[in-house]
Amino acid sequence: MVDTYALYRRLAAYPQGRRIFSLVFEQAAPYFRTARPRFVELGPNRAELTIAKRHRVQNHIGTVHVIAICNGLEAAMGALAEATIPPSRRWIPKGMQVEYTAKATTDIRCVAETDPADWAREGDVEIPVRVKGVRADGTTVVEGIIRLWVTDKPTR
């Protein structure tokens, strides 16, 4: 299994490395391809990527479709989880709650964040990942929580 965070750190050291990482990430999780997320930052407890406003992700009124934004938020959350989770644990999304707060009229910056203390809890736990989509002018267009179910990996 690929260590997502190690791959990001290795590639980000090179020119165009974040772009290459983004393309590799899409290959590993093809359902993100339509949103075409481009990673800006990835580390424990924080991930940030952008979704370009382009025809493929626009709705009938010419704004970035909220489902494309949610796709980007889920990509940021997944990368954050992979960069943060202890090696003996595993995660799976449990649910997503988002509010649409403004029109997405520009490229969108998708941010996912968690608190370090959440990942230190033992046993089967639910971890809230705070997510938001932000326009170029700083206006938040989507915000919410993606809940993760985190458990110990089975012993083999």
User: CA–CA separation, 81 vs 150, rounded Å?
Assistant: 10
User: CA–CA separation, 30 vs 34, rounded Å?
Assistant: 8
121-155, pLDDT tens digit by residue?
999 999 999 999 999 999 999 999 999 999 999 98
> Please, what is the average pLDDT of the chain?
94
- In the chain, the percentage of residues whose pLDDT exceeds 70 is 99
Burial of 78 (0-12, 13-18, 19+ CB in 10 A): buried
pLDDT of amino acid 2: 61
pLDDT of amino acid 33: 86
pLDDT band, very low/low/confident/very high, at 1 (cuts 50, 70, 90): very low
Residue 43 sits in a domain whose CATH number is 3.10.129.10
User: CA–CA separation, 8 vs 49, rounded Å?
Assistant: 13
75-90, pLDDT tens digit by residue?
999 999 999 999 999 9
Asked if pLDDT for residue 18 goes beyond 50, the answer is yes
Asked if pLDDT for residue 32 goes beyond 90, the answer is no
Count the domains in the chain: 1
What's the domain range around 99? 4-152
Radius of gyration for the alpha carbons in the chain, expressed in angstroms and rounded: 15
